[in-house]
Amino acid sequence: MTGQLQIDRLSLVFRTRHGAVRALEDVSLSIERGEILGVVGESGSGKSVLAYAVIGLQDPAAEVLGGRILFGGLDMLAASEQARADVRGRELAMIFQSPRTALNPIRKVGRQIEDILRQHANVSSGELRRHAINALARVRIPDPERRYHAYPFELSGGMCQRVMIAMALACSPFLLIADEPTTGLDVTTQAVIMDLIRDLSRSARMSTLLITHDLGLAGEYCDRIAVMHAGHVVEVASVEKLLDHPAHPYTQQLLGATPTPQSTIEGLTAIPGQLPDLRHDLPACRFSARCARRVAACEERPLPWVSIGPDHLVRCQVPL
């Protein structure tokens, strides 16, 4: 098993009482071993849906219409739930957006880390406690020996988040999926966590899919960035190219709407128009209704991927 992840033309809808929500369409992405891929986009663009699809824990209303997710040698969509469960927690770990729901409310946090180590790492029972305390210390939880005995309700939200991150990293996954991992943490802790993720990428060649609305953070820690809009990936490039020479009008607006590296996409209101209603029939380019460069071809399928240069792809009829 390698850490490599490949998502090929993934399309997914939610069947709801109010119609089918076309949450992902034709999404293709890959992450190499040791690489940190950032996924950015406004709230509602499909970042979390993509993350849950990769780990195979999506909502029962989700239906995959097509595409493949290959993790190492495993076809994640075709694999049995047992095979996926074996992979989760050992080769693949996820940091969720809502830490409290990821923790067991009635078990001490130290014990929860031990559970993971016992199931997924070769740690002898005599060593479990020391490893669990180390895992807490690594995410800079003060007084880890004492916090080991805490229940989640005794900890603040930020502390729960750190516990969840400690759990995710405890058995050195090949692939980490981190959905807004540091939202709500103070900047110092955020840097500690992100440095830890980067160290593991470099030293243990862990691959990371980092979902964030913080372009400054993505620019600092990612190797490549994928931009999502309304269930599409619209541009993928190395960090330098994406930030210095964005080619998709949406990426340009996201960056143009970012006055400082500290800004967040969610916090910005300068992008005209709204995400389209994903229950409606949509044109090939889902950004076209918001786009000043729109031409007739934007409505026509298939929407091409255009190569702007090495390691720089954009899904647009009129890239700049």
Ligand X SMILES: Nc1ncnc2c1ncn2[C@@H]1O[C@H](COP(=O)(O)OP(=O)(O)O)[C@@H](O)[C@H]1O
How far is it, in rounded angstroms, from Cα 162 to Cα 34? 22
Residue 49, contacted partner among ligand X, Mg ion, none, CB below 5-8 A by kind:
ligand X
46 binds ligand X (CB under 6 A): yes
7 binds ligand X (CB under 6 A): no
How far is it, in rounded angstroms, from Cα 52 to Cα 58? 5
10 binds ligand X (CB under 6 A): no
Tell me which residues in 60-89 interact with ligand X (CB under 6 A).
61
38 binds ligand X (CB under 6 A): no
Residue 45, contacted partner among ligand X, Mg ion, none, CB below 5-8 A by kind:
ligand X
Q: Confirm if 277 and 290 have CB atoms less than 8 A apart.
A: no
182 binds Mg ion (CB under 5 A): no
Say which amino acid occupies 102: A
182 binds ligand X (CB under 6 A): no
Residue 21, contacted partner among ligand X, Mg ion, none, CB below 5-8 A by kind:
ligand X
CA 82 vs CA 86, 91, 212, 250: distances in Å: 6, 14, 30, 40
3-state secondary structure of 94: strand
- Which position among 7, 27, 36, 45 is part of the footprint of ligand X (CB under 6 A)? 45
What lies within 8 Å, CB to CB, of 284 at 6+ separation is 298, 299, 300, 301, 302, 303
Of 16-24, 25-33, 105-113, 286-294, the segment contacting ligand X by CB under 6 A is: 16-24
CA angle 80, 86, 88 (to 5 degrees): 105
16 binds ligand X (CB under 6 A): yes
How far is it, in rounded angstroms, from Cα 38 to Cα 223? 8
48 binds Mg ion (CB under 5 A): yes
- Which position among 5, 21, 27, 166 is part of the footprint of ligand X (CB under 6 A)? 21
Between 253 and 272, how does the x/- string for binding to ligand X read (CB under 6 A)? --------------------
Residue 270, contacted partner among ligand X, Mg ion, none, CB below 5-8 A by kind:
none
DSSP 96: -
In angstroms, how far is CA 25 from the centroid of its own chain?
17
The least distance separating ligand X from the CB of residue 97, rounded to whole angstroms, comes to 8
The least distance separating ligand X from the CB of residue 63, rounded to whole angstroms, comes to 11
212 binds ligand X (CB under 6 A): no
CA 13 vs CA 18, 132, 236, 305: distances in Å: 12, 39, 23, 22
Residue 258, contacted partner among ligand X, Mg ion, none, CB below 5-8 A by kind:
none
| CB environment 159-185: b (16+ within 10 A), e (fewer) | bbbbbbbbbbbbbebbbbbbbbbbbeb
Residues near Mg ion (CB under 5 A): 47-48
Which residues sit at the interface with ligand X, rule CB under 6 A?
A: 14, 16, 21, 23, 41, 43-49, 59, 61, 278
